[in-house]
């Protein structure tokens, strides 16, 4: 009797910190909000992404390029002044002053080409926004389903531990009554410790998943419903955010190549100024208008590298777009197959769970009647636990793979 009371008190002492940990788990869990949607989580996460500053800086740069393309001159005009005299030679007082402006002139079609390049660059930057948002959506989807899966593992582990604790209590009573050997008591305790360890690991993983969500999204709430639906359309179009961004890179590179074809030689320069000269010191200055035109020849040896460099960039972006198109098609097909397979696995897991439940119920009855041993019961119980875990995980994985299929399709919540 004294041994039974001691065991009971010892069990209560062990259970107190465990119950405290379970209460602490519920206190530290992220709140569930019915008003928060998957779309809002993606938007709020997107708004705190550091790359937004880079996109804004690029838009500012495009505005500056646009103003330059609309300028009267091809580049910055320069003030020019030159002076000649014979002080170190004949010293007759001869002098010449030339003062004026060097004004770079637009090449034919150059201004329009630069404006087109600026327009395409702006479109490229604008296409980066949905592409970045799609990346954020993929991260958020994985975070939310990671929380759901780890939370389910905690719940299942807690249920399994509770069942094993009850079995341990039953075994302890039967050992005291002499129905079971003390080795069975040790075996039950080992099984209970094993389930407790599994629960603790699940709790840690659940906490890590919530922490990652909090750090990335900046939110302390979870959406109540973030399940998605999908359709059977597995085709991919240019409206896919990632493919659209790649396409805009190609069009921008094409505009740059066309611009380089026009700008393969330097801009002509027009000098306009005044000329003031005299031959002797006792004479006055003769004044005249000075005009000159500087036209670079644009030799092939100097212009060819610019053209080939632009063509290389265009070809590279075209090949990257083709590679991306293939990768996206493969990703969509793979995600679709994973979803179909997981649905089938979930149906099978449901049937398997029903059978293992029936088998466990019969084994529990046989154990209570002394018709089977504890080892056999634990073995069948482990099969039932595994089947139930698998069923719940497959159910959640159907939602996960649905989200991954939508992600591969380029669907932003």
pLDDT, average across residues 310-325: 96
Distance CA 50, CA 53 (A): 6
What is the chain's mean pLDDT, rounded? 89
What pairing do the DSSP bridges indicate for beta strands 95-104 and 78-85?
antiparallel
- 37-62 pLDDT per residue, tens: 999 999 999 999 999 999 999 999 99
- Residue 412, SS3 per DSSP: coil
Q: Residue 372: its pLDDT value, please?
A: 85
Q: Where are the beta strands (DSSP E) in 144-201?
A: none
φ, ψ (nearest 5 deg) of residue 82: -135, 155
Q: Which two tokens stand for residue 150?
A: 């780890």
Distance CA 393, CA 345 (A): 10
What confidence category does residue 11 fall into, taking pLDDT thresholds of 50, 70 and 90?
very low
Whether the per-residue pLDDT at 3 is higher than 60: the answer is no
Any idea where the domains of the chain sit in the sequence? 2-409
Q: Which two tokens stand for residue 74?
A: 């091809």
What confidence category does residue 28 fall into, taking pLDDT thresholds of 50, 70 and 90?
low
Please report the sign of the dihedral spanned by the C-alpha atoms of residue 394, residue 399, residue 400, residue 404.
positive
Where do we find the tokens 């399709």? Answer: 409
- 202-261 pLDDT per residue, tens: 999 999 999 999 999 999 999 999 999 999 899 999 999 999 999 999 999 999 999 999
Whether the per-residue pLDDT at 17 is higher than 50: the answer is no
Q: Which two tokens stand for residue 131?
A: 């592409």
- 157-188 pLDDT per residue, tens: 999 999 999 988 989 998 888 888 889 889 99
Q: Residue 298: its pLDDT value, please?
A: 80
pLDDT, average across residues 328-347: 97
Closest CA to 236 of 370, 327, 161: 327
Contact between 248 and 120 (Cβ < 8 Å) = yes
The CATH superfamily label for domain 2-409 reads Outer membrane efflux proteins (OEP) (1.20.1600.10)
Closest CA to 317 of 365, 257, 402: 257
Q: How far is CA 202 from the centre of its chain?
A: 26
What confidence category does residue 318 fall into, taking pLDDT thresholds of 50, 70 and 90?
very high
pLDDT, average across residues 83-112: 87
Question: For the whole model, what pTM was predicted?
Answer: 0.82
């Amino acid at each position: 009797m004294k041994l039974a009371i001691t065991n009971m008190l010892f069990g209560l002492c062990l259970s107190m910190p465990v119950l405290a940990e379970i209460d602490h788990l519920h206190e530290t869990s992220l709140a569930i909000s019915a008003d928060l949607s998957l779309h809002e989580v993606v938007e709020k996460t997107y708004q705190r992404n550091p790359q937004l500053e880079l996109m804004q800086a690029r838009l500012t740069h495009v505005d500056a390029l646009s103003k330059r393309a609309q300028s009267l001159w091809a580049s910055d005009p320069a003030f020019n002044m030159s002076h000649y005299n014979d002080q170190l030679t004949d010293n007759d007082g001869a002098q010449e002053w030339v003062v004026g402006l060097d004004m770079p002139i637009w090449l034919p079609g150059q201004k329009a080409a630069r404006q087109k390049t600026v327009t395409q660059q702006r479109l490229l930057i604008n296409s980066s926004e949905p592409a970045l948002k799609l990346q954020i959506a993929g991260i958020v989807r994985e975070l939310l389903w990671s929380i759901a899966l780890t939370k389910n593992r905690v719940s299942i582990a807690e249920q399994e531990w509770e069942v094993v604790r009850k079995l341990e209590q039953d075994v302890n009573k039967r050992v005291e009554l002499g129905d079971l050997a003390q080795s069975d008591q040790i075996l039950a305790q080992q099984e209970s410790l094993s389930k407790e360890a599994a629960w603790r690991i699940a709790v840690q993983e659940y906490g890590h998943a919530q922490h990652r969500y909090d750090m990335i999204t900046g939110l302390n709430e979870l959406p109540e419903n973030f399940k998605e639906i999908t359709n059977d359309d597995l085709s991919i179009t240019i409206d896919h955010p990632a493919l659209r961004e790649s396409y805009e890179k190609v069009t921008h590179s094409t505009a740059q190549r066309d611009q380089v074809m026009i700008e393969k030689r330097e801009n002509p320069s027009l000098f306009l100024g005044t000329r003031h000269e005299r031959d002797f010191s006792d004479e006055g200055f003769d004044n005249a208008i000075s005009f000159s035109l500087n036209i670079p020849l644009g030799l092939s040896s100097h212009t060819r590298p610019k053209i080939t460099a632009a063509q290389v960039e265009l070809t590279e972006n075209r090949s990257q777009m083709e590679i991306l198109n293939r990768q996206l098609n493969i990703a969509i097909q793979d995600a679709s197959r994973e979803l179909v397979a997981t649905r089938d696995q979930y149906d099978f897991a449901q049937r398997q769970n029903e059978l293992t439940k029936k088998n466990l119920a019969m084994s529990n009855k046989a154990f209570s009647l002394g018709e089977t041993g504890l080892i056999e019961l634990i073995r069948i119980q482990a099969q039932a636990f595994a089947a139930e875990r698998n069923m719940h995980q497959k159910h959640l994985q159907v939602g996960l793979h649905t989200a991954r299929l939508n992600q591969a399709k380029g669907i932003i919540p």
